[in-house]
Structure 1
Amino acid sequence: MQIKLVILDRDGTINRASDEFVKSPEEWHPLPGALEGISRLNHAGFHVVLATNQSGLGRGLFDMAALNAVHAHMLKSLAAAGGRIDAIFYCPHAPGEGCACRKPAPGLLQQIQERYGIDLKGVPYVGDSLRDMQAAHSAGCAPHMVLTGRHPDLQAPSFPIGFPPDTQVHADLGAFVDHLLGDATDRDKTS
């Protein structure tokens, strides 16, 4: 039996994104309802994993200690809301480094697939940017866009060029969770 998995982007999906990068715990601010949404996923039996570009490392804007401090703060805040993130996968490279892990490349998602030994076909990937949706599509995930980050005005079905046609749009992470758990409840009622 395959585990129930949801993959999330971080900045703009769980917490407020910043053009200046999130460089310290003090700069990390959860989006309304995001922590509660993750907790609801956990309580419904889903494992939640992060796949996040952290090019501030490659750009020299913060170091590993700072990134670890931000993630420790995020995990502590999430635990206080009754939730957890099972693993954090991140790309430390700057945009010009040509790595295979920086989204829109699917490398981070392939790492998740290898770590968990599962097929990602249909696994929900939730993010706030075109590159998130492209990475999700390339890895076979179901792309879910939230409007809390880089594309607040995006409206289905008239996606801009480059968006996978199967992208589903949600107001925020909580609305995605409502959608996913509503679908799961509907499936349970019919089986």
Structure 2
Amino acid sequence: MTNTTKYNYLFLDRDGVINIERPNDYVKNRDEFIFTDGALDAITILSKKFEYIFIITNQRGVGKQVMSLVNLADVHNYMLTEIKKAGGNISEIYFCTDTDSTSINRKPNIGMGFKAQFEFPQVDFRHSIMVGNSKSDIEFGNKLGMYTVLVGDKYDKKDKIYKSVNAYYENLYKFAQNL
């Protein structure tokens, strides 16, 4: 990153960034939650560099009744426990279970960002980074004026998404290494 702006706040998508995404499916329970390569190490590194780290995740599977809020809480508790054991820290998790794409809280809409800012008033989106693996993550970050980082291999290298991001890395660990 050659930008001279000081970034204090990190927003991370979950599926495809922290854990392996299940194509055409949902992480419905703890057994299906598998960290991406280097994610635990990455969050440990990032926890030393950012004042706050937020997870911002759409969880439509709950709204579709494919899984319950209890299942989601169990997955998140497992994830947070493993992150803490590795030396990392997550300030808060925000999730949207709505199935309607017009919901203010469903990415790419920005409701979850404002929830974070309401609970942590010092958050300034101009001093925030959004890391995601999908167009909705990047659009969310761009709408709020964040520095946006795409990770993963979801899109062909010629896809126009690469023109709407500030940076691209193979995964969260590569991003953390390059800060």
The residue number in structure 1 matching 2:112 is 108
| Other-structure match for 1:68 | 73
- Quick one: which of 138, 147, 152 aligns to 1:133? 138
Kept in 1, the 8 Å contact 2:129–2:149? The answer is yes
Q: Distance in 1 between matches of 2:129 and 2:152?
A: 16
Residue correspondences, number: 172
CA deviations over 1:159-186 (Å, ceiling 9, x no partner): 42x6663431111001111222xxxxxx
Of structures 1 and 2, the one with the larger relative CO (CA 8 A, separation 6+) is 2
State whether residues 94 and 112 of structure 2, in contact with CA within 8 Å, keep that contact through their aligned partners in structure 1: yes
Structure 1 residue 45, shift from structure 2 partner? 4.6
Code of the residue aligned with 1:139 in structure 2: it is L
Preserved contact between residue 3 and residue 47 of structure 1 (Cα < 8 Å) = no
Alpha-carbon contact 1:110-1:139 (below 8 Å) kept = no
Map of 1:178 onto structure 2: 177
TM-score by length of 2: 0.88
Q: CA deviation at 1:124?
A: 0.5
CA distance in 2, matches of 1:82, 1:123: 22
| Deviating more after overlay: 136-145 vs 162-171 | 162-171
- Alpha-carbon separation, structure 1, partners of 2:136 and 2:8: 24
TM-score under structure 1 normalisation? 0.83
Rounded Cα–Cα distance in structure 1 between residues aligned with 2:163 and 2:54: 22
Alpha-carbon RMSD across the aligned residues, in angstroms, is 1.9
| In 1, Cα distance between equivalents of 2:105 and 2:70 | 21
Q: Distance in 1 between matches of 2:21 and 2:71?
A: 16
Structure 2 residue identity aligned to 1:4: N
C-alpha spacing 1:17/1:166, structure 2 compared with 1 (3 Å): closer
State the alpha-carbon separation in 1 of the partners of residues 14 and 143 from structure 2: 19
Query: Is 1:53 the counterpart of 2:70 in the alignment?
Result: no
The structure with more radius of gyration: 1
Tell me whether 1:36 sits opposite 2:41 in the alignment: yes
Give runs of ≥4 in structure 1 deviating > 6 Å: none
**Cα distance in structure 2, aligned partners of 1:45 and 1:172:** 18
Task: Tell me the secondary structure at the aligned position of residue 175 of structure 1.
Answer: helix
Instruction: Give the residue type in structure 1 aligned to 2:45.
Output: R
CA 82–14 in structure 1, closer or farther in 2 if over 3 Å, else same: same
Match of 1:13 among 14, 17, 22: 17
The 3-state SS of whatever aligns with 1:125 is: strand
**Residues 75 and 85 in structure 1, CA contact (< 8 A), matched pair in contact too:** yes
Q: For residues 90-145 of structure 1, give each alpha carbon's deviation from its aligned partner in whole angstroms, at most 9, with x where no partner exists.
A: 11111x36310101111111211222112211411000000100010001111100
Rounded to whole Å, the distance in 1 between the matches of 2:137 and 2:92 is 18
> Tell me, which stretches of 5 or more residues in structure 1 are unaligned?
181-191
